[in-house]
Amino acid sequence: MAIMPVLFRSLMALFTEVVAHPAASITTLLYYSNLLPRNLNLERMVRPQLLHPENFMFHLLINVLRCFW
C-alpha cells in the first residue's frame, strides 16, 4: 500500500507534463528511448528535467519503448 502514493504522484506528474507540453514531452520520451535521431533541432525540444529520479512512470515508458521497439 505504501507504493501506491508514489506511483500515483509519478503518474500525475507525467500526465500534467503531457497535457501542458505535449510536443516537448513526447519528443523527450522518444529521444531518450533512442527512437529519434540525434539532431540539434530535436535536442532543443528535449526537456531533461523530465528525467527526475522520482518520475518513475516516465522512466518506465522509456524502458518499455527501448525494449519493444
Q: What is the mean pLDDT of each run of 10 residues along the chain (69 residues)?
A: 84 92 92 89 87 89 91
Query: Which pLDDT does position 66 carry in this prediction?
Result: 93
pLDDT on residue 20:
94
Q: Which stretches of the chain are DSSP H helices?
A: 3-20, 22-32, 40-43, 56-68
CA distances from 33 to 17, 23, 56 (A): 17, 15, 15
Quote the pLDDT of residue 25.
92
Cell numbers 497535457: residue? 19
pLDDT, residue 7, reads: 87
Cell numbers placing 26? 513526447
The domain limits of the chain are 21-68
pTM equals 0.82
Distance (Å, whole) CA 39 – CA 59:
22
Report the SS3 class of residue 35: coil
